[in-house]
Amino acid sequence: MLSQHSPKYKHKARQNKLCSIAAALLHCRGKEGCEGCFRTSAGSSFCLPFGGLEGRIGRVRLTSYQIFSLKLTLFGVVLLYLGVDLWAWHGPVWRFIHAAQEGKDTSQLEASVYGEDLTIGQLDRYVAEQDWLRGRLTPQAEQRNSRLMELIRHEFIRITTRYNDRNLPLLRGEAEEEVKRLASRAPSDEAFDGWLASQGYSRAQLTDRVQSRLRSQAQLERAIAPHCVVSDEAVAAHYELVKDRLTLPQRRELSHIFFSTVDTDADAARAKAEAVMAALQQPGQDFAELARTRSEDERSRTAGGALGTIRDDGTNPLPELPLFGVEAMPEGQPVLAKSRWGWHVLLAGPVLPPHTPSLDECRESLRTAIMSAQQELATQAYFDSSYKEAKHKNRIRIYAK
Closest to 221 in 3D by CA, of 368, 376, 370: 376
β-partners of residue 10 are: none
Answer whether residue 18 is part of any domain: yes
Asked if 323 and 262 sit in the same domain, the reply is yes
Q: Give the residue, 349 or 33, on which the prediction is more confident.
A: 349
Residue 9: what pLDDT?
Answer: 61
- Pair (239, 378) in one structural domain: yes
Q: What is the pLDDT at residue 109?
A: 82
Closest alpha carbon to 251 in 355, 321, 174: 355
Is 99 part of any domain?
A: no
Q: Are residues 156 and 297 in the same domain?
A: no
Distance CA 178, CA 28 (A): 76
The identity of residue 384, as a single letter, is D
Crossing angle between the packed helical segments 144-163 and 359-392, to the nearest 10 degrees: 90
| 195 and 327 part of one domain | no
**95 part of a folded domain:** no
Residue 100 lies in a domain: no
pLDDT (tens digit per residue) in 277-322: 999 888 888 899 999 999 999 888 888 999 888 888 877 777 778 8
Q: Please indicate whether residue 5 or residue 63 has the higher confidence score (pLDDT).
A: 63
**Mean pLDDT rounded to a whole number for the chain:** 78
The CATH number of the domain holding residue 319 is 3.10.50.40
**The pTM is what?**
0.48
205 within domain boundaries: yes
In tens, the pLDDT along 385-401 reads 888 888 777 778 887 65
Beta bridge partners of 88: none
What average pLDDT does the segment 54-58 reach? 38
* CA 278/CA 380 separation, integer angstroms: 60
Q: Considering Cα of 87, then 158, then 381, then 152, what sign does the dihedral take? A: positive
pLDDT one-digit tens code per residue, 163-173: 766 666 778 88
The residues, any chain, with a CB within 8 Å of residue 196's CB and separated by 6 or more, are 202, 203, 206
Boundary (domain end) residue, out of 56, 88, 120: 88
Residue 98, domain member (yes or no):
no
- Looking at the fold, whether 256 and 240 belong to one and the same domain comes out as no
Return all residues near 347 (Cβ < 8 A) that are at least 6 apart.
254, 255, 256, 287, 305, 332, 333, 334, 335
The whole domain housing 237 covers 232-244+356-390
Lowest mean pLDDT among 84-88, 248-252, 297-301, 379-383: 84-88
Task: State pLDDT tens for residues 129-148.
Answer: 777 666 655 555 557 778 88
Q: Are residues 220 and 239 in the same domain?
A: no
In tens, the pLDDT along 176-206 reads 888 888 888 888 888 888 888 887 788 888 8
Q: How confident is the model at residue 235 (pLDDT cuts 50, 70, 90)?
A: very high
**385 shares a domain with 366:** yes
Looking at the structure, tell me whether residues 333 and 373 fall in a common domain: no
27 pLDDT band (50/70/90 cuts)?
very low
337: in domain: yes
Which of 88, 123, 142 is a domain's end point?
88
Q: Are residues 340 and 375 in the same domain?
A: no
Domain C-terminal end among 55, 88, 121 = 88
**Percent with pLDDT over 90 in the chain:** 14
Q: What DSSP character marks residue 353?
A: P
What amino acid is encoded at 90 in this protein? Answer: H
Do residues 343 and 281 share a domain?
yes
Residues 342, 325, single domain; the answer is yes
Classify residue 2: in a domain, yes or no: no
C-alpha 110/C-alpha 120 separation (Å) is: 6
What would the mean pLDDT of 3-30 be, rounded to a whole number?
56
Distance in angstroms (rounded) separating the CA atoms of residues 47 and 35: 8
* Confidence check: pLDDT of 89 > 90: no
Residues 197 and 255 in one domain: no
Q: What b/e string do you get for 143-165 counting C-beta neighbours within 10 Å, with b at 16 or more?
A: eeeebbeebbbbbbbbeebeeee
Q: What are phi and psi of 396, to 5 degrees?
A: -120, 125
Cα gap 201→196, rounded to integer Å: 5
Number of domains in the chain: 4
DSSP string, 151-210: HHHHHHHHHHHHHTGGGS---HHHHHHHHHHHHTTSSSHHHHHHHHHHTT--HHHHHHHH
Residue-level pLDDT at 392: 77
Grouping H, G, I as helix, E, B as strand and the rest as coil, residue 242 is helix
**pLDDT at residue 236 in the model:** 92
Rg (CA), the chain: 40
